[in-house]
Amino acid sequence: MINELNWGVVSATLLLLALGAYYWGFEKTKMTSKELALIATLAALAALGRVPFAAIPNVQPTTFMVLVAGFVYGPRAGFMVGSLAAFSSNFFLGQGPWTPWQMLAWGLIGASAGLLGKWKPDLGISGLAVFGFIWGYLFGWIMNLSYWLVFVYPLNWQSFLTAYAASFYFDSLHAAGNLAFTMIMGPMAVQVLVKFRERLSFTYQEN
């Protein structure tokens, strides 16, 4: 009975409903047009950063940019930057049942980085780079689940473990890329975004 359901369609539908509810809640927050424009700009930059690196498996600056945006501007802005970057970049790279999962994964990166920024605002670039390294694997595990649900049959523990084992190399590339991008470009990126935050007075209330 479990394998008779199209879990790819079911999971994508549930994720789209959850994302839609989150976007509706975000729309109700009190933000200025400048703050909204900044979030949209950061999402566009993160999306564009993904396209030129498409030929290199899992190595791209998108995760780094989402990470830094969340760390500086908070979890809600971080989630929006990550999810919008995934959605918009797939207009170039291809939309599909994986899109809601990518929106969720990159959104969670931004949101968790925002929580980290509130908890440890003086973390430093090295700590942020390690956080990005860990998320290289966590992102892969989320996307592995989507692959397993959408493209694998039958759904059992053997196929589940095989799907995760097969992606370890690519997840490692993602993690290493996050570490490198953050260490190299992180100091300047954080400095620039903090200046914009001070100029725009990013003060909306987090729920």
Residue 201 pLDDT: 61
Q: How confident is the model at residue 153 (pLDDT cuts 50, 70, 90)?
A: confident
Decide if domain 7-200 falls under CATH 3.40.50.10420: no
- At 33-91, the pLDDT tens digits run 777 888 889 999 999 888 877 778 788 899 999 999 999 999 999 999 999 999 998 88
**Residues contacting residue 36 through CB under 8 Å, at least 6 positions apart:** none
Q: Is the peptide bond before 97 cis (omega within 30 degrees of 0)?
A: no
Phi, psi angle pair for 204, to nearest 5°: -65, 160
Contacts for 14 with CB less than 8 Å, ≥ 6 apart: none
pTM: 0.87
Average pLDDT estimate for 153-162: 86
Cα–Cα distances in Å, from 108 out to 60, 90, 115, 170?
A: 17, 18, 10, 20
Q: Which pLDDT score is estimated for 1?
A: 44
Nearest to 106 by CA among 133, 134, 142: 142
Range with the poorest average pLDDT among 28-32, 49-53, 201-205: 201-205
- Between 200 and 173, the more confident residue is 173
Query: DSSP H helical segments within the chain, as ranges?
Result: 7-27, 33-50, 62-73, 75-93, 99-119, 125-151, 157-166, 168-200
- In the structure encoding, which two tokens stand for residue 71, read together? 């760390």
Q: Any idea what DSSP says for residue 1?
A: -
pLDDT band at 119 (very low <50, low <70, confident <90, very high): very high
AA letter at 194: V
Residue 5 DSSP class: S
- Token pair 């109700």 is found at 28
The domain spans of the chain are 7-200
When pLDDT is cut at 50, 70 and 90, the band that residue 15 belongs to is confident
Distance CA 68, CA 45 (A): 12
- pLDDT band for position 107 (50/70/90)? very high
pLDDT band at 204 (very low <50, low <70, confident <90, very high): very low
CA 194 to chain centre: 20
pLDDT band with cut points at 50, 70 and 90 for residue 14: confident
**pLDDT tops 60 at residue 134:** yes
Tokens of 164: 């995760």
